Amino acid sequence: MSPLPRLMVAPNGATRTKADHPALPVTIEEIVACARACHATGADGLHAHVRDRDGRHVLDAGLYAELLAELARQVPAMRVQITTEAVGRYSPDDQRRLVETLRPRMVSVALREIAAEPDMALTRRFFGFCAEAGIAVQHILYNAADVTRLGALVADGTVPAQGLQVLHVLGRYAPGQVSSPEDLDAPLAAQAAASLCPDWAACAFGRSETDCLLAAVARGGKARIGFENNLFTRDGNRASGNAARVAEFLSLLARASQAGR
Q: Which pLDDT score, from 0 to 100, does residue 235 have?
A: 93
Long-range CB contacts for residues 54-63, cutoff 8 Å, separation at least 24 = 55/17, 55/26, 57/13, 57/14, 57/15, 57/85, 57/87, 59/84, 59/90, 59/94, 59/95, 59/98, 60/98, 61/98, 61/101, 61/102, 63/28
pLDDT band at 189 (very low <50, low <70, confident <90, very high): very high
- Condensed to tens digits (0 to 9), the pLDDT of residues 11-67 reads 999 999 999 999 999 999 999 999 999 999 999 999 999 999 999 999 999 999 999
- Rounded CA separation 245/41 (Å): 10
* pLDDT, mean of residues 161-187: 88
Average pLDDT, the chain: 95
Checking if the pLDDT of 143 tops 60, the result is: yes
What predicted TM-score, i.e. pTM, was given to this entire model? Answer: 0.95
Percent of the chain beyond pLDDT 70? 97
Average of per-residue pLDDT across 223-228: 98
pLDDT in tens, 235-259: 999 999 999 999 999 999 999 877 7
Overall average pLDDT of the 216-233 stretch: 97
CA–CA distance, 2 with 211 (Å, rounded to integer): 27
Q: Would strands 57-58 and 50-51 be described as parallel, antiparallel, or unpaired?
A: antiparallel
Q: What is the mean pLDDT of residues 219-229?
A: 97
* All domains in the chain, ordered by first residue: 7-259 (3.20.20.70)
- pLDDT, tens only, 54-110: 999 999 999 999 999 999 999 999 999 999 999 999 999 999 999 999 999 999 999
Q: Distance between terminal CA atoms of the chain? A: 32
31 Cβ neighbours under 8 A, 6+ residues apart: 11, 12, 25, 48, 50, 67
Is 153 a residue whose pLDDT tops 90? yes
Mean of the pLDDT values across residues 132-148? 97
For residue 39, what pLDDT is reported? 98
- What share of the chain in percent tops pLDDT 90? 90
Q: Which DSSP letter does residue 261 get?
A: -
Collapsing DSSP to helix, strand or coil, 38 comes out as helix
